[in-house]
Amino acid sequence: MKRHLTAGRLLLMALSVLTGTAMEAKVVLPRIFGDGMVLQRNADVRLWGTARPGATVKIKTTWSGKEVRTKAGPEGRWQAVITTADTREEPQAVTLDDGERTVLGNVLLGEVWICSGQSNMEMPMKGFKAQPVEGAARDVMDSRDAQLRLFTVRRNSQLTPQDTVSGRWQEAAPASVRQFSATAYYFGRQLRHTLQVPVGLIVASWGGSSCEAWMRADWLQAFPGTKIPVEKEDIWSENRCATVLYNGMLHPLIGYGIRGAIWYQGEDNVQRYPTYADMLSRMITGWRQAWGQGDFPFYYCQIAPYDYSGVLGWDDNSAFLREQQSRVETMVPNARMAVLMDTGLQYGIHPRKKREAGERLAILALSHTYGVEGLPEFACYENVEFRGDTAVVAFARSKEWVYFEHGQSSDLFEIAGEDRVFHPADTWIERNRVYVRSDEVKHPVAVRYAFRNYAEGDLMHDGLPVSSFRTDNFDR
C-alpha cells in the first residue's frame, strides 16, 4: 500500500513539474492587457509581463505585421515597446510567443484615458442606494457601442506596489455601462461622438479615498504631517491611508499607453484644505514622471457644493478646498478644472448630475488636447478694483461676457470693509464685469462669491458656471 502511495505521489510530482514548466514557458501578462483592450493610437506603447527566464519573446501585431523581440530577464520579467497606428475600428490582434503563443484579440487602437478619484468618480450609472444618476435609465438603454471599451480596476489596498490588477475589458452595452463610472462614461461617450474614434476608459477609484492614498511615499515627503504605513498594522484605513491605493490600483497601470487622465476627488481632503493645491500638484507631476509620457493632459472636477456641516461634525467651509483646486490650474502645466457650482446637492455629497461632470471634462479634453474649435470656456476670477463704495470684479477667459443664470442680479455676492465683516451685496453686470456694493459697507476691501459650503451657483459664462471665489486672503 505504501509502495502504491509513494508511486502515486511521484506521479503527481512529475505532473506538477511538467505543468509548472509549461506554465513558465507561456507569456503571462498583467490583467490590463487582454482581449478587448484599447491601445493608444499613433504612439509607442509598452507591453510587459513574465515568461521563462532568458526566453526570447516575439511580438507581432496585425496592423503592422512587424515582429518585435525582447528577452526575459533572470526573474522572467520582460518588456517591449510596439508602435501603434492610426485608428483601427476593425478588431486587431497582438500575438506573443516565447515558444507557446498567446493571442490577444478584439483589440482596438484609439484614445485611452485613466479615470481616478473617490466616490463621485466611482459612482456607477445605476447610482448608489437611494442616490440615482439623473437621466441614467435612458442613457443606459442607448449605451451599446462596440468602439467604447471599459475597464474597472477592482478595489485593492496594499502596503507595497503590486504588479497587476483585477478587472477585464468590456464593450459598452447596457449591462456593462450600468455598473461603470457615470462621470467616466459620459466623458468617454462625448469623446466617441465628437472624435469618431475608439475610446478606452480605465477607472481606478475608491469612494472616500484621500489624495494621499493615490501618491507614492517619496512624493509625500513635502507634507510632514502625513503618516506613511510601514507595516500592515499601520494601515488605519483601506482607502484613506497614504500610498495604499497607489500601490494596489495605480502602480500596476503605470506605463500603459494613455492620452491623459481625469480626476474627481477632494471631498475627503476638505478638512486638510491648506495643503491640497500643493498636494494635488505633486500627485500630478508624480504620475507624469512615473508614466514617462511627459506632461500628459490632466483634467479634474472641482467638488460640487454640499453642506458639510452635517458630516462627522465637520464645520469647515468647503469653498476653501474649491479655491485650492482652482489654484492647481496655475501651478501645473496642461491641467484644467471643470467647474460644478450649479450641480450640487445641499444634503447629498453625490450629485445626480454626472452627465454635466463628464461632459465638462470632455469639453476641456476636446478643446485643449484635441484642438476642437468653437467650444465654450470656463471663465474665472481675475482681479477686483474698488471704486468708492463699489467693487468691480473682472474675469479672465470671458470673451462671451458673464451673466446671471436667473435674472439681473445674484444674492451670492458678499462684500466687506476693513472690519472683515461680510454683508449681502447688490450686484449688476456690464460685459465681463460684476459690480458689487452694499449700503452697509462704505469702503469695501473684499468681495466673495458663493463662498460657502453649499450654494446654487448662478454666475455663468457661455453656458458654464464660474467657480466660487474670494478677493481676500483672510484666514477664515
Nearest 10 degrees: CA dihedral of 277, 185, 460, 314?
-50
Q: Classify residue 13: in a domain, yes or no.
A: no
* Pairing of the two strands 446-449 and 402-404: unpaired
Residues 142 and 210 in one domain: yes
* Pairing of the two strands 298-301 and 260-264: parallel
Q: Classify residue 287: in a domain, yes or no.
A: yes
Residues 99 and 115 in one domain: no
C-alpha dist (Å) from residue 163 to 75, 113, 222, 249: 14, 20, 27, 9
What is the rounded distance in angstroms from the CA atom of residue 271 to the CA atom of residue 226?
14
pLDDT value at position 314? 66
The residue among 105, 123, 149 that closes a domain is 105
DSSP string, 131-169: BPPTTHHHHHHT--EEEEEEEEPPP---SS--S-----E
Report the number of secondary-structure helices (H) and strands (E) in the chain.
9, 24
The residue among 67, 88, 105 that closes a domain is 105
pLDDT value at position 313? 63
Q: Classify residue 122: in a domain, yes or no.
A: yes
What is the rounded distance in angstroms from the CA atom of residue 464 to the CA atom of residue 381?
14
pLDDT value at position 311? 67
Residues 147 and 89 in one domain: no
24 φ/ψ angles, rounded to the nearest 5 degrees: -65, -30
Residues 90 and 122 in one domain: no
Residues 315 and 448 in one domain: no
Residues 100 and 114 in one domain: no
CB 428 within 8 A of CB 437: no
Residues 310 and 412 in one domain: no
List the grid coordinates of 335: 491641467
Report if pTM > 0.85.
yes
Looking at residue 59, which CATH number applies to its domain? Answer: 2.60.40.10
Q: Classify residue 434: in a domain, yes or no.
A: yes
Q: Classify residue 84: in a domain, yes or no.
A: yes
CB 362 within 8 A of CB 356: no
The Cα angle at residue 325 between residues 392 and 158, in degrees rounded to 5: 175
Sheet strands (E) in 272-416: 298-301, 335-338, 380-387, 390-396, 402-404, 413-416
List the grid coordinates of 149: 471599451
Number of Cβ within a 10 Å radius of residue 333: 12
What is the rounded distance in angstroms from the CA atom of residue 244 to the CA atom of residue 313?
26
Residues 214 and 178 in one domain: yes
Q: Classify residue 133: in a domain, yes or no.
A: yes
Residues 203 and 300 in one domain: yes
10 φ/ψ angles, rounded to the nearest 5 degrees: -60, -40
Looking at residue 414, which CATH number applies to its domain? Answer: 2.60.40
Domain residues for the domain of 439 are 380-470
Q: Classify residue 171: in a domain, yes or no.
A: yes
Low-confidence ranges of the chain (pLDDT < 70): 1-25, 311-314
C-alpha dist (Å) from residue 423 to 44, 50, 305, 306, 372: 57, 65, 21, 22, 42
What is the rounded distance in angstroms from the CA atom of residue 377 to the CA atom of residue 393?
18
Sign of the CA dihedral 169, 144, 342, 133? Answer: negative
Residue 365's DSSP bridge partners are none
pLDDT value at position 289? 98
Q: What is the DSSP letter of 188?
A: H
The residue among 105, 137, 167 that closes a domain is 105
Residues 63 and 175 in one domain: no
pLDDT value at position 448? 98
pLDDT value at position 309? 83
Helix (H, G, I), strand (E, B) or coil at 126: coil
Residues 261 and 387 in one domain: no
What is the rounded distance in angstroms from the CA atom of residue 198 to the CA atom of residue 90?
10
Domain count, the chain: 3
368-426 confidence digits (pLDDT tens): 999 999 999 999 999 999 999 999 999 999 999 999 999 999 999 999 999 999 999 99
Residues 283 and 164 in one domain: yes
3-class SS letters over 232-285: HHHCCCCCCCCCHHHHHHHHHHCCCCCCEEEEECCHHHHHHHHHHHHHHHHHHH
Q: Classify residue 7: in a domain, yes or no.
A: no
Looking at residue 132, which CATH number applies to its domain? Answer: 3.40.50.1110
